[in-house]
Structure 1
Amino acid sequence: MRTWKPSWRWLRAGGAGALLAVVGCATGNEQFGPQVKGSSTTLSSSVSIYRDLLSPYGDWFELPEVGWVWKPYEEQVGRDFVPYASFGQWRLSDWGWTFDTDLEWGWAAFHYGRWFVTPAHGWVWWPDDEWAPSWVDWRWGDGHIGWQPQPVPGQQVRRPWTFVASSDFVSPDVSRFLVPPDQEATLASKTQPVGERVMGRTGQWNAGPTGEEVAQVLGEPVPRTGPLAPPTGQPPLTGSSASR
């Protein structure tokens, strides 16, 4: 099983730039990352964007009602893989918490689309074309912080909560500190939803707890990304709003 080391792969040409090359569109300085032209794309279009790029790292298959999904190879990520936890670290960006990973496909599956669990296949990823720092919702309280992948639009799918002690939240390879799954329901009842909703092109992401809240718990500044250009549809940040 591979180990994790910090990387900014999702900001490099091997990530967002690769998707731009595939979809054949260019973005100006007012946009961050590959936002496919047009107001929306079909699921088949989203699959075609990622199919060849992600095929070396996992299998594509079709699920009833949901459509095409992708699952990373178990021999590469291990049987205990959890999205937004394995092989990475949470960092604060100008637009909310983002998952920093050196997984070759992390630029796609942690910034586009949705994750959910199926009984037969475990965690799988549903592709979409809109970027966000992370597509998760957040809970906070009782000394813990938790996150849950947002649902596939229009679908009822299983999306377990992942919880860690607040003091472990920004630790590298945060999966080492996950609370056992059998405590999920208890912690969900002891925590409260947290985070500002941010409107994207077609969806809304959750910015999560503020950096100040997390820093107060940690007793030290939180790890941050470098400056990011605003996502499509978002105005540039002022100095005060960028330091959230």
Structure 2
Amino acid sequence: MRAVHHLAAAAALVVVGLDCHKTDTAQPVAATAPTGPSARFYGALAPYGTWIDDATYGWVWMPSPAIVGADFFPYMTGGRWLYTDAGWMFDSSYAWGWAPFHYGRWAFDAGVGWMWVPGDVWGPAWVDWRWNAGYVGWAPLPPRIAGVREEPRSHWIVVAARDLTRPQLAGHIQPNARGQVVFADNATHPEARPGWRVGPPGDVIAAATGHPETPVHLPPPPRNDELVRSHVEGDRVEHTPFAESKQAPSATMFPHNPPEFPLHTMRPHTTHAPVSDVPHRSSGGFPRSSHRGERLL
């Protein structure tokens, strides 16, 4: 049913976009304006992808396949895993990567592709982790749906532990049969704790690569609800305030030609499996969140 809702929303937008394109003036059609976290990110991400008003999640953003490719996968494409003193952080090479890889959640629908559900709490990477027998797996934490109590699931990618820190991971994904080792009964995964999952200890990766993992320092971001861009400077992560636009989002649908759906297709060698679902408790130097796109799973 959720997939039908996504497809219906996307199809409706395509029809509107096509109708606009057929007119002589080709004027974009006004839509309901984004609110909440979506409004904060709308202008910054609009040049790099498509916003749609989804029936399940509200306003969501999808990166353009012209930029990321049709086989885009969050927390793998366009970045690398960086070991910090607060756990593993996804260091993105995209100009827009400061937002969707550190705020919000990702959901996948076969008829639409990867959709980012905005949130306004920063984290190094909103993923779940597993590791076992020389392999490491991770999966984007999906957003919660109000009223749905079923076990949350996501798409997992598994690599050999020695490959986790490579700058290009696409060529090192393990086939499903081998990747199942991280779901074995003896596999290790993070203990329930507030905030993000820290991922495998540095010595696990160091043993696999043959050289020590020296962590960079990751300070907490500002606690005044300020959005930040995070980047690595030497041996530490710097948080730079993001200057939000004071102008309200234009709330237009497809000012250019509408995209063809799906924007992204699922990569081979991924496993659709459960992710941890634990209560969210406030603790430590990082804020908790009440927004559905940032609730800890």
- Structure 1 length as normaliser, TM-score? 0.69
What is the CA distance between 1:75 and its match in structure 2?
0.7
Residues 28-57 of structure 1: per-residue CA shift (max 9 Å, x gap): xxxxxxxxxxxxxxx821000000000000
Whole-angstrom distance in 1 between the partners of 2:106 and 2:178: 17
* CA RMSD in angstroms, aligned pairs only: 2.4
Q: 1:64 aligns with which of 35, 39, 55?
A: 55
Whole-angstrom distance in 2 between the partners of 1:184 and 1:125: 29
Which residue does 1:138 correspond to in 2? Answer: 129
Q: 2:163 aligns with which of 168, 172, 197?
A: 168
What is the CA distance between 1:108 and its match in structure 2?
0.4
Contact 1:170 1:222 in 2 (8 A): no
Q: 1:221 to 1:94 in 2, by over 3 A?
A: same
Whole-angstrom distance in 2 between the partners of 1:234 and 1:198: 10
Residues 160-186 of structure 1: per-residue CA shift (max 9 Å, x gap): 001111111111122221124x44873
Q: 1:137 to 1:74 in 2, by over 3 A?
A: same
Match of 1:99, as an amino acid?
F
Q: 1:51 aligns with which of 9, 29, 42?
A: 42
Which residue does 1:213 correspond to in 2? Answer: 204
1:100 lines up with 2:91 in the alignment: yes
Identity of matched residues, %: 37
Whole-angstrom distance in 2 between the partners of 1:218 and 1:186: 21
Whole-angstrom distance in 1 between the partners of 2:177 and 2:60: 28
Which residue does 1:177 correspond to in 2? Answer: 172
Which residue does 1:242 correspond to in 2? Answer: none
What is the CA distance between 1:101 and its match in structure 2?
1.7
Contact 1:138 1:145 in 2 (8 A): yes
Which residue does 2:112 correspond to in 1? Answer: 121
Q: 1:53 to 1:149 in 2, by over 3 A?
A: same
1:194 lines up with 2:185 in the alignment: no
Whole-angstrom distance in 1 between the partners of 2:139 and 2:178: 11
Contact 2:130 2:183 in 1 (8 A): no
1:228 lines up with 2:223 in the alignment: no
What is the CA distance between 1:198 and its match in structure 2?
4.2
Please state whether the residue corresponding to 2:73 is helix, strand or coil: coil
Q: Unaligned stretches of 5+ in structure 1?
A: 1-42, 237-244
Q: 1:186 to 1:210 in 2, by over 3 A?
A: closer
Structure with more relative contact order (C-alpha pairs < 8 Å, separation 6 or more): 2
Match of 1:138, as an amino acid?
W
Please state whether the residue corresponding to 2:103 is helix, strand or coil: coil
Residues 174-220 of structure 1: per-residue CA shift (max 9 Å, x gap): 2221124x448734533724224442xxxx21011111222122211
Whole-angstrom distance in 2 between the partners of 1:176 and 1:185: 14
- Structure 2 length as normaliser, TM-score? 0.58
What is the CA distance between 1:117 and its match in structure 2?
0.7
Structure with the largest fraction of helix? 1
Please state whether the residue corresponding to 1:216 is helix, strand or coil: helix
Whole-angstrom distance in 1 between the partners of 2:174 and 2:212: 24
Moved beyond 6 Å, runs of 4+:
none
Q: 1:214 to 1:124 in 2, by over 3 A?
A: same
Match of 1:195, as an amino acid?
P
Whole-angstrom distance in 2 between the partners of 1:183 and 1:161: 13
Which of these two proteins has the greater Rg computed from alpha carbons?
A: 2
Please state whether the residue corresponding to 1:54 is helix, strand or coil: helix
